[in-house]
């Protein structure tokens, strides 16, 4: 059976996982619109895929430009089948040391920009009675890590938002999937990672993690960005896509471990948990 060509919109696709997703979608013959930070809307794939790629400059914090960009993307190809909310960055630092001037911009990009992009796309998909919204979270959006508190919090927000969204739009034919990558050898631990210095001995283990993270992680992550795009394409072509898709052995193992820990706590504290019920 011939595969139906799809139309994608991918945010933050100038490098890393967003670029990998765009390349895979284009390689399989789909139409793709991407947003990039480059002011001139330049893109490494533009010349090779001139007929099926459209590139728009957009900073995810510039919420007033999101709706016009979506309108242009829809006008370019006539519909929108897949939204990949990929734009985002990391923030490394202890919670006590991280000021609002650092963590509020993080939420502007990782959560509020994602929410506004989703809201701009929903009327299109609602009219179509079809579509797939893929929100990039992280394994840290399910299982938080000391030293990445605000980053994990922004991704936890993405997960709660996505769960509720899936319940709202599922009945009208729109799928929602939360993608939870483990460590990929992308730019996340390099140029896409902001950090806050710390020297607090009271938080020795977390402080050491923060201090050594980029040195020990960047360029040594176990997952290949080139395999991210094909995984996303397989997800989009699935008849019944999941609400959550962890990517990487580490992501699956951490999620399973946390689920086991939660179940153990529920069992251990069930008597106290049930104690608040009215005694009828």
The answer to whether 151 is a known catalytic residue is yes
137 is catalytic: yes
Residue from 56, 151, 203, 213 carrying the catalytic annotation = 151
| Active-site residue, from 56, 103, 155, 203 | 155
Q: Residue 82: inside a domain, yes or no?
A: yes
pLDDT at 276: 97
Task: Tell me which residue range forms the domain holding 218.
Answer: 7-252
pLDDT in tens, the chain (280 residues): 677 999 999 999 999 999 999 999 999 999 999 999 999 999 999 999 999 999 999 999 999 999 999 999 999 999 999 999 999 999 999 999 999 999 999 999 999 999 999 999 999 999 999 999 999 999 999 999 999 999 999 999 999 999 999 999 999 999 999 999 998 877 655 556 788 877 788 988 888 888 777 666 666 776 788 999 999 999 999 999 999 999 999 999 999 999 999 999 999 999 999 999 998 8
Maximum Cα–Cα distance across the chain: 72
Residue 73, CB-side half-sphere exposure with 13 Å CA sphere:
29
What CATH number does the domain containing 91 carry? Answer: 3.40.50.720
Identify whether 66 is part of a domain: yes
From residue 226, alpha-carbon distances to 15, 137, 232 in Å are: 12, 18, 11
Nearest to 166 by CA among 110, 124, 122: 122
Spell 205-216 as b/e; 16+ CB within 10 A means b: ebbebbbebeee
Q: Given this model, what pLDDT does residue 194 score?
A: 85
What is d(CA 39, CA 170) in angstroms, rounded to the nearest whole number? Answer: 36
Is the CB of residue 151 less than 8 Å from the CB of residue 139? no
In a domain, 272, yes or no: no
Task: Give me the pLDDT at residue 98, please.
Answer: 94
Task: State the pLDDT at residue 219.
Answer: 64
In this prediction, residue 191 carries a pLDDT of 58
Q: Find where tokens 């609602």 sit.
A: 126
The one catalytic residue in 6, 33, 56, 137 is 137
The total number of structural domains that make up the chain? 1
Query: Would you state the pLDDT for residue 214?
Result: 60
Domain annotation covers residue 277: no
Would residue 275 show up in a list of annotated catalytic residues for this protein?
Answer: no
Domain contains 265: no
Asked if residue 262 is part of any domain, the answer here is no
For residue 264, being part of any structural domain is answered with no
Domain assignment of residue 56, yes or no: yes
pLDDT attached to residue 188: 59
């Amino acid at each position: 059976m011939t595969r139906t060509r799809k139309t994608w919109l991918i945010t933050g696709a100038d490098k890393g996982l967003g670029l990998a997703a765009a390349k895979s979608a284009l390689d399989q013959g789909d139409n793709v619109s991407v947003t990039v930070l480059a002011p001139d809307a330049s893109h490494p794939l533009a010349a090779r895929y001139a007929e099926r790629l459209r590139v728009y400059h957009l900073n995810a914090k510039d919420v007033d430009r999101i709706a016009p960009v979506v309108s242009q993307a829809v006008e370019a190809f006539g519909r929108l089948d897949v939204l990949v909310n990929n734009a985002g960055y990391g923030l490394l630092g202890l919670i006590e040391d991280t000021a609002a001037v650092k963590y509020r911009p993080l939420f502007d990009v990782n959560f509020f920009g994602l929410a506004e992009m989703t809201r701009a796309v929903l009327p299109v998909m609602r009219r179509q009675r079809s579509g797939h919204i893929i929100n990039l979270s992280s394994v840290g959006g399910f299982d938080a890590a000391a030293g990445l508190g605000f980053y994990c919090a922004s991704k936890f927000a993405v997960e709660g938002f996505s769960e509720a969204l899936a319940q709202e739009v599922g009945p009208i034919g729109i799928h929602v999937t939360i993608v939870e990558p483990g460590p990929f050898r992308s730019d996340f631990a390099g140029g896409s990672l902001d950090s806050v210095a710390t020297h607090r001995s009271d938080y020795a283990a977390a402080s050491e993690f923060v201090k050594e993270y980029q040195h020990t992680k960047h360029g040594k992550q176990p997952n290949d960005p080139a395999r991210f795009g094909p995984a996303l394409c397989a997800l989009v072509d699935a008849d019944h896509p999941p609400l959550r898709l962890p990517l990487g052995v580490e992501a699956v193992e951490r999620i399973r471990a946390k689920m086991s820990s939660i179940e153990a706590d529920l069992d251990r504290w069930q008597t106290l948990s049930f104690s608040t019920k009215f005694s009828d």
